[in-house]
Structure 1
Amino acid sequence: MLLDVNGNQAYCYTGGKAFDPGLPAIVLIHGAQNDHSVWALQSRALAHRGYAVLAPDLPGHGRSGGTPLSTVEAMAAWVLAVLDAAGVSRALLIGHSMGSLITLEAAHIAPQRVSGLALLGATYPMRVSDALLEAARTEQDAAIDMVAAWSHAAWLPGPSTAGPGTSVINTARRLMQRMAARGADGLFHTDFAACNAYANGEAAAASIACPTLFVQGKKDMMTPPRLAQLLTGGIKHAKIVGVDAGHAMMSEAPDAVLFALLRFAQDAHEVQSNG
């Protein structure tokens, strides 16, 4: 699905179903140097269970045009503009890693637009080491290799995941390499710098009143659950689900992530319907 957002083409994957803005809407936001494909299983499953799904490529990522945005605040405003372009008044927002900060900020600045908030691999502050920031700027291939390795708890997925025997690390590496080849110069550094600079997490968390879910990888080395305490403590009504995976939990524990999101979406929709 292609939308015009702020004068640029924005691509949104709709989970293999025609997008119907009359259905309960779910928007899934990817992380740094990624695109909509990280949500492949979850977006399709949600779309085939009666939800209107939008999994956009952020500006300058994947199939979306425009210049990559340099701040979490700008990306949050862009997500709200996607809702406008799609004719969606209110949606459940789901974000992973950098996407978790984006959706958190969007819920902060426009709470009336957000029916629920699911944050995967979220920490605050989302610090990026100086060494990794410099590698992202000057040695992008090395930075991709580092992030691909650190994002996964194991080289191979478990036997119950789709495509057992597939190297999830190499799949993630190829996606980031493709983003580097097709995207704007310095895309990785732009994304990482935005995560590193975001300073509104505590205030945003304190403002959240909608149903909220944290999904945390128990073996996450990129955004360890212990570093999410400013967010989980700030949103005291939030539920927390742990999955047996690293940072790339959507591919390492796809079923566990899906089941957590399905239950949360159902509960959030009931709250909205009864409210």
Structure 2
Amino acid sequence: MLLTVQGIPSYCYTGGAHFDPARPAVVFIHGAQNDHSVWTAQARYFAHLGYGVLAVDLPGHMRSQGAPKTSVADMADWLLALLDAANVRQAALIGHSMGSLIALETVFKAPQRVTHLAMVGSTYPMKVADALLTTARDNELAAIDMVTAWSHSPLASHTVRNTARRLMQRMPGRLHTDLAACNSYANGELAAASVRCPTMLLCGASDAMTPPKSAKALAAAIPHAQTVTLDSGHSLMSEQPQAVLAALLEFIGSR
């Protein structure tokens, strides 16, 4: 589904079902140099349970036009504009990595618009190693290889790894911008303290990008949040698709 958001065509995958804004809405938000497809399995299941699903392509990513946003705050403003364009009054937000920061900032900016907050593979602050930032700026293909290696547990198959690598290679020129936005996001502590909606932190036990121990401060800042840890690396949705789906269904509630 194409929507005009801030004057620019923006794509949302609706899970293979007609999107009805009158249904309870679930919005899936991808991470750095990814797109809606990382959420395909989960989005399809929620759509066929009767939810209104929007798995977004962020600006400048895959099917959404425009330049990539350079800050988490600007991405959150875009997401709120997308909800307006889709005639969605309230939605559950499910974000992975950078997408989790966007979801958190969106709750901060418009708490009345968010029914549930699920942060997958998240931490705050989401600092990016200087070596990775520099490589993403100067040699993106090498940086993609670094991210691919660090995003998967030793149990991840070659197919899963190669699919992740190929997806990032199809969108050249976004990685440094996205990683820099994560690295510079500074409102997480204040945003986390403001969260009142049901919240879940979904962590990968072998996550080298956002290790579970690094999310402890985030969990402490949202004392009502539940934490679920899966046997996975950072790319939880591809390594453990069924377990991620089960955790999200239990959190948001099946229909």
Coarse TM-score class (shorter-chain normalised): over 0.9
What is the aligned residue count? 255
Distance 2:46 2:58 in 1: 20
SS at match of 1:53: strand
TM-score relative to the length of structure 2: 0.98
Distance across 2 between alignment mates of 1:26 and 1:40? 13
**Structure 2 CA distance for partners of 1:240 and 1:203, relative to 1, 3 Å:** same
Residue type at the aligned position of 1:168: V
Q: Does 2:12 match 1:18?
A: no
Residue aligned with 1:167, SS = helix
Counterpart of 2:190 in structure 1 is 203
1:133 aligns with 2:133: yes
Return the TM-score normalized by structure 1: 0.91
Aligned to 1:83: 83
**Partner of 2:170 in structure 1?**
178
Name the counterpart of 1:98: 98
Amino acid aligned to 1:90: Q
Distance in 1 between the 2:17 and 2:156 partners?
30
Structure 1 residue 218 displacement after superposition = 0.6
Structure 1 residue ranges, 4+ long, deviating more than 4 angstroms after superposition:
none
Of 161, 186, 191, 1:169 maps to 161
Counterpart of 1:175, as a letter, is L
For the residues of structure 2 that align with 1:225 and 1:156, how far apart are their CA atoms? 18
Could you tell me how far apart the structure 2 residues matched to 1:207 and 1:217 are? Answer: 25
- Taking the aligned partners of 1:177 and 1:154, their CA distance within structure 2 comes to 22
Q: Deviations over 1:180-229 (max 9, x none)?
A: 1xxxxx31110000000000111000000000011000110000011112
SS at match of 1:28: strand
**1:4-153 maps to which residues of 2 (within 5 A)?**
4-153=4-153
Q: Which runs of 5+ in 1 are unaligned?
A: 158-165, 181-185, 270-275
1:228 pairs with 2:215: yes
Q: Tell me the residue number matched to 1:259.
A: 246
**In the aligned structure 2, how far is the partner of 1:209 from the partner of 1:42?**
25
Give the drift of 1:50: 1.2
> What residue number does 2:3 align with?
3
Deviations 1:74-93 (A, max 9, x none): 00111111100000000000
- How many angstroms apart in 2 are the aligned matches of 1:252 and 1:34? 15
What is the Cα deviation at residue 156 of structure 1? Answer: 3.8
Q: Which residue of 2 aligns with 1:190?
A: 177
Structure 1 residues 69 and 63: CA distance shift in structure 2, 3 A: same
In the other structure, the counterpart of 1:219 is 206
Amino acid at match of 1:266: G
Contact map agreement 1:155 1:168 (CA 8 A) in 2 = no
Where structure 2 has 5 or more consecutive residues not aligned to the other structure, the ranges are none
